With several copies, the nearest count.
Chain A
Amino acid sequence: MDQDLLARIKRHEVLEAIKAGERVDGRDFEEFRPIEVQPDVIAKANGSALVRLGNTQLVVGVKLEVGTPYPDSPDEGALAVNAELVPLADPTFEPGPPDENAIELSRVVDRGIRESEMIDMKSLCIEEGEHCWVTFVDIHVLDHDGNLFDASLLGSVTALHRTRVPKAEVVDDEVEVDETELTPLEVRDFPVSVTIALVDEHLLVDPCLDEEVVMDARITVTVTEEGRICAVQKGERGSLPEHLLDDAIDLAVKKAEEIRGVVKAQL
């Protein structure tokens, strides 16, 4: 009961602010919250980053493991993105295997990394058809205040940019790994996603949690350094009026460029 009441009050606040041309936390409609990216926070990982996007906070760790290439790409490494919405991060998150929200999140991040071709997957082949590096990107959410999509991709891309690959050699059909000889992972793009909430026919960039609770729909657009689009995802129970779609795309492309600059300046 109280929860419902609280939700209704919040909804009212968010909508009132929008009517007044404002957002509930005082931002402009097209304004991101402050972004703080701290790379190399986990020494045990091959690459890592802590991201703060307003009060949203998460850690991404990249681990490389020797595995077997997929039969249809014998000369390439593999990529696995996983997001854990651990119950520490939000009162509604529950322990257990990833639910549909965690799976959607990790798959959208996965497509951003994969389709931008930011990683040279061929550089992760150790021996064709036999051995390759499997790149595990693990997103660990610590504090959920909205827009996990953009924060997760920022953390993942930063962690990949800082990933160092151990030397691997095949000796007698077995892979010998030398953890002391490290070379940077070959990355060649910096994809950034921009998530826009649709509330009452308004487009709000980088929604905070209070806005996510009331939004009708959400669209996430992932943009490469060249300004090309490599992934799009509409989500949530509402629909997106046709006439707003082009605006949303243009807005996302513009903001992606800006955000990328903000983050790169911190690395």
Chain B
Amino acid sequence: MPEEEPERLISEDGLRLDGRKPDEMRPLKIKAGVLKRADGSAYVELGANRIVAAVYGPRELHPRHKQKPDRAVVRFRYNMAPFSVDERKRPGPDRRSIEISKLSKEALEPAIFTEYYPRTAIDIFVEVLQADAGTRCAGITAASVALADAGIEMRDLVAACAAGKVDGHIVLDPMYYEDGYGEADVPLAMMPKEGEITLLQMDGDMTPEEFKKAVKLAKKGCKIVYKEQRRALKRKYGEE
């Protein structure tokens, strides 16, 4: 949490603390295939977020009684490096990261043709090396590229982006201070081609109309992310 609350998060001329317009995303960089050992991997920078994702699988699932005869089991582990946040985070999962891992898995699974890989496991690992706001969305974004890099068959990429409410304004992709002092946060993930929402959360205070507006803005953000994801894959694999 920022140590001192800024007086206002949106300036008189409608700009945000980091100079962005309300519907502007932070700089986004995506790179596919950054690790050698993993079957697929990706690296994402979104603002000051630094995130690595890796995919192992489809691979054998032990113990056997956890296998599904008709599909792959998708597993997801979101983890923060101890040095990724202001105060050192003790290693190991806490309640927040367990919830994020569950929701991220549920955000990616609708996109995967799990039925093509019966009895196997598809393991997705996301390591947050540095956290600004929006790590869960950036993690899903990275994981989705890593899945494609691993050659896992998918209906579509999953793109994720948050919207927020800050000083009464609906803004795209809240950064650290906005997340800490804003009025609401709406992370969203979707398969843009099919118009299917796969992650949606909100906490804070919004009228139903504000919430709908935020969802709309987050979807716009997802489309930007989607473009970058495809560009990253093209860079590695050439034209689609």
Q: Does B92 contact A (CB under 8 A)?
A: yes
A138 contact set on B, CB distance < 8 A: 81-83, 88, 91
* Contact yes or no, B1 A232, CB < 8 A: no
B131 contact set on A, CB distance < 8 A: 44
Q: Mark A137-176, 1 if CB is under 8 A from B, else 0.
A: 0101011110000000000000000000000000000000
CA distance A253 to B206 in the complex (A): 12
* A42-B83, A143-B36, A234-B197 as given contacts; A115 in contact with B212, CB under 8 Å: no
Q: Does B226 contact A (CB under 8 A)?
A: no
What is the distance, in angstroms, from A144's C-beta to the closest C-beta of chain B? 6
* Contact yes or no, A44 B86, CB < 8 A: yes
Q: Does B228 contact A (CB under 8 A)?
A: no
Number of residues in B with C-beta < 8 Å to the partner? 64
* Contact yes or no, A100 B99, CB < 8 A: yes
* Contact yes or no, B37 A230, CB < 8 A: no
A229 contact set on B, CB distance < 8 A: 202, 205-208, 211
- Mostly, the B contact residues are mixed
| Of B85, B191, B201, the contact of A239 (CB 8 Å cutoff) | B191
Q: Does B67 contact A (CB under 8 A)?
A: no
A97 contact set on B, CB distance < 8 A: 91-92
CA distance A94 to B200 in the complex (A): 28
Q: Does A38 contact B (CB under 8 A)?
A: no
What is the distance, in angstroms, from B197's C-beta to the closest C-beta of chain A? 4
* Contact yes or no, B212 A242, CB < 8 A: no
Q: Mark A117-137, 1 if CB is under 8 A from B, else 0.
A: 100000000000000000010
* A86-B127, A100-B102 as given contacts; A240 in contact with B197, CB under 8 Å: yes
* Contact yes or no, A239 B83, CB < 8 A: no
CA distance A114 to B36 in the complex (A): 32
Of B18-26, B51-59, B232-240, the stretch lying at the interface with chain A is B51-59
Q: Does B115 contact A (CB under 8 A)?
A: no
* Contact yes or no, B200 A240, CB < 8 A: yes
A114 contact set on B, CB distance < 8 A: 203
Specify the chain B residue showing the minimal Cβ separation from A2.
B60
What is the distance, in angstroms, from B150's C-beta to the closest C-beta of chain A? 12
CA distance A58 to B186 in the complex (A): 30
What is the distance, in angstroms, from A234's C-beta to the closest C-beta of chain B? 4
| Of A55, A107, A230, the contact of B99 (CB 8 Å cutoff) | A107
Q: Which chain B residues (208-223) contact chain A, with CB distance < 8 Å?
A: 208, 211-212, 215, 219
* Contact yes or no, A236 B200, CB < 8 A: no
Q: Which chain A residues (174-232) contact chain B, with CB distance < 8 Å?
A: 219, 224, 227-232
B130 contact set on A, CB distance < 8 A: 42-44
* Contact yes or no, B83 A61, CB < 8 A: yes
A111 contact set on B, CB distance < 8 A: 203
Specify the chain B residue showing the minimal Cβ separation from A101.
B102
Can you show 16 pairs from A to B with CB atoms below 8 A apart?
Answer: A63-B83, A88-B35, A88-B125, A89-B35, A95-B77, A97-B91, A98-B95, A104-B102, A136-B82, A228-B206, A228-B207, A230-B204, A234-B103, A234-B199, A239-B110, A245-B212
Nearest 9 Cβ contacts at the A-B interface: A61-B83, A239-B196, A232-B202, A88-B125, A234-B200, A45-B83, A239-B110, A88-B54, A63-B88
